[in-house]
Amino acid sequence: MADVLPLVEARLRTTLGEPDARAAVTFLGTDRVEVLRFQQGDVVRYATLGMSAQPMAEPTAMLADPVQGPRAELILSVRSGRADTDKVLRPLAVLAASPQVEGLVVAPGASLDVGEALWPDAPFTSVLVAEPGGLVEDLELAEPLDPVRFLPLLPMTPNEAAWKRVHGAQALQERWLSEGTDLRDPARRSVTLE
User: 14-66: per-residue pLDDT in tens?
Assistant: 999 999 999 888 877 778 899 999 999 999 999 999 999 989 887 666 666 66
**Within a domain: 188:** no
Question: Which pTM value belongs to this model?
Answer: 0.92
**Within a domain: 185:** no
**Within a domain: 190:** no
Q: At 52, phi and psi to the nearest 5?
A: -85, 0
Q: Which range marks the domain in which residue 142 is found?
A: 4-178
Express each pLDDT in 83-122 by its tens digit: 888 899 989 999 998 888 888 889 999 999 999 999 999 9
Give CA–CA dist 69/85, Å, rounded: 32
**Within a domain: 191:** no
